[in-house]
A and B are shown apart, each in its own frame.
Chain A
Amino acid sequence: MSALGHYLEEEGIATVAISLIRPQTEKTRPPRALWVSFALGRPFGPPSEPAFQRRVVLGALRLLERPTGPVIIEDFPDDDPRGKSDAAWRPPSLPAILADRTPAVLASRLDAEILLLADLHRRWIAERGRTAVGLSGLSAQELGAYIGEWLHGREPLSPNPGFSPLLLLPFAADDLKAYCLEAGAAEPGKPSSRQLYDWFWRATAAGAALIALRHTLLASDSERVKLIAGNFLVPPPYVPSTDRPTTIAGPTMGPWQPGL
């Protein structure tokens, strides 16, 4: 991000960056940056809090009027008020995760869960007017089938001609997570992201399926498969201790390689 600021500024465009990782900003020394203490992924603060977001945006823009610089790195004073848990939020009621983690059981439970969450997900879309599901081009039911095929050790057909089945897998996983997380957030309350992710990874069949799929694919002979499974399905805090390391070193992902 700071590199972008450097290039644009050299071309005559004034820039101000939001900084999420202060040590990186201090190293890169962009012309202007406003450091915020919010979670990675929330550069402008909590959702549905326009007054708070406006203060962040304006705090950054005001740095453009400073007469002296570079370098300006200023700290936004407030933490994310939605970073705290909401005791009033209750996750959707789902069947307990079974100890049986065979592919057939995982795939079957995943399909059933997608159906169980459908009403909540429709409520989410009706209330919010949007969904972040849509990267893979697969419907919710197709997502279950797609992940299920991988669980069974079969490589499904990619519905997108520009993407191999392997390259589409992280997008399908992202869509599955978004579908479940949106359904979970449709329950009353204002859950923190931690509450939502803890529920997803510890109490849903979708989370169990992705953790199991990561484990299975790490046994592949293909370095590409191991790279994608190891790094782009399950975040490190939720990788079981028996499946460490949490990240897999290997060839870089890109730039885009047709063979991937």
Chain B
Amino acid sequence: MVRLADLPPAQAQRLAAFDCPNFATQPWVTGPPLSRRRVAIVSSAGLVVRGSVPFRGRDPDYHTIPPGTRPDDLLISHVSINFDRTGFQEDWNVVFPIDRLNELVAQRTIGSVADTHYSFMGAAEPDLIEPHARELAGRLKRDGVDSVVLAPV
């Protein structure tokens, strides 16, 4: 897996034909060199902190991954069963590359990493996600974040 050609034909066909949003605008935000950027992770894996309420169905809102979250605290509650979870079970960086981002800060490749990160449920309807995403942008700005890595599953 992979490439669509490696997936079961029915799944590949469904994924390729998936109805995607068609936007009228094409936003484009530039910024300083990476060494001065503050980066957050926004996942669509349905990530939740252990003990909190998992995503239900196609909930369009987001969960926060607060400072101090440990690898054993993070769970995937995505509704789909059609993706590999064994990689995440072994190493959370497969889905949530927080250790890699912190290493890039230590190397001074990027400026800093956000204190808080976020996750949506990838199966949610894009138009229902929109108000939550716009509200999230405000939170990111208040944390000084200017750049986001969007991580699907």
Interface residues of A (CB under 8 A from B): 1-24, 27-31, 37-48, 50, 53-54, 56-58, 60-62, 64-65, 67, 69-71, 80, 82-83, 128-132, 134-135, 162-163, 167, 170-171, 174, 177-178, 181-182, 185, 193, 196-197, 231-237, 246, 252-257, 260
Q: Number of B interface residues at 8 Å Cβ cutoff, please give it.
A: 91
In the bound complex, CA of A177 to CA of B30 (Å): 43
Residues of B within 8 A of A44 (CB): 93-95, 97, 100, 151
A-B residue pairs in contact (CB < 8 Å), sample of 17: A1-B151, A4-B133, A12-B137, A21-B4, A24-B20, A41-B87, A41-B88, A44-B151, A54-B103, A69-B28, A132-B75, A135-B75, A193-B86, A254-B56, A254-B124, A255-B59, A260-B57
Tell me the B6-36 residues at the A interface (CB within 8 Å).
8, 10-11, 15-16, 18, 20-23, 25-31, 33-34
Query: Could you tell me if B34 and A64 are in contact, using CB atoms closer than 8 angstroms?
Result: yes
In the bound complex, CA of A28 to CA of B81 (Å): 24
Q: A11-B137, A47-B86 are in contact. List 6 more A-B contacts (CB 8 A).
A: A7-B134, A44-B97, A47-B91, A54-B104, A57-B97, A253-B123
Nearest CB of chain B from residue A63's CB, rounded to whole Å: 10
Per-residue contact bits, chain B 132-153, to A (CB 8 Å; 1 contact, 0 not):
0110111011000111111111
Residues of A within 8 A of B65 (CB): none
Query: Could you tell me if A134 and B99 are in contact, using CB atoms closer than 8 angstroms?
Result: no
- Give the top 4 A-B pairs by smallest Cβ distance, nearest first: A254-B57, A11-B137, A41-B83, A41-B84
Nearest CB of chain A from residue B23's CB, rounded to whole Å: 5
Query: Could you tell me if B42 and A8 are in contact, using CB atoms closer than 8 angstroms?
Result: yes
Query: Could you tell me if B103 and A39 are in contact, using CB atoms closer than 8 angstroms?
Result: no
Interface residues of B (CB under 8 A from A): 1-4, 8, 10-11, 15-16, 18, 20-23, 25-31, 33-34, 37, 39, 42, 44, 48, 50-51, 53-54, 56-60, 70-72, 75-77, 79, 81-95, 97, 99-101, 103-104, 109-110, 120, 122-124, 126, 128-130, 133-134, 136-138, 140-141, 145-153
- Residue on A nearest B19 in the bound complex, by CB: A27
Query: Could you tell me if B10 and A40 are in contact, using CB atoms closer than 8 angstroms?
Result: no
Nearest CB of chain B from residue A38's CB, rounded to whole Å: 6
Residues of B within 8 A of A170 (CB): 79, 81
- Residue on B nearest A82 in the bound complex, by CB: B87
Query: Could you tell me if A24 and B15 are in contact, using CB atoms closer than 8 angstroms?
Result: yes
- Residue on A nearest B72 in the bound complex, by CB: A130
Nearest CB of chain B from residue A167's CB, rounded to whole Å: 7
Residues of A within 8 A of B90 (CB): 47-48, 128, 185
- Residue on B nearest A9 in the bound complex, by CB: B27
In the bound complex, CA of A79 to CA of B58 (Å): 31
Nearest CB of chain B from residue A226's CB, rounded to whole Å: 16
Query: Could you tell me if B134 and A246 are in contact, using CB atoms closer than 8 angstroms?
Result: no
In the bound complex, CA of A1 to CA of B126 (Å): 9
Q: A17-B152, A40-B2 are in contact. Are A177 and B16 (CB under 8 A)?
A: no
Residues of A within 8 A of B31 (CB): 14, 64
Residues of A within 8 A of B56 (CB): 163, 167, 254, 256, 260
- Residue on B nearest A30 in the bound complex, by CB: B150
Residues of B within 8 A of A24 (CB): 15-16, 18, 20
In the bound complex, CA of A67 to CA of B130 (Å): 27
Query: Could you tell me if B120 and A4 are in contact, using CB atoms closer than 8 angstroms?
Result: yes
Residues of B within 8 A of A233 (CB): 81
**A130's contact among B16, B26, B92, B141, by CB below 8 Å, is which?**
B92
Nearest CB of chain A from residue B130's CB, rounded to whole Å: 6
Q: A15-B150, A255-B59 are in contact. Are A39 and B1 (CB under 8 A)?
A: yes
Residues of A within 8 A of B130 (CB): 3, 7
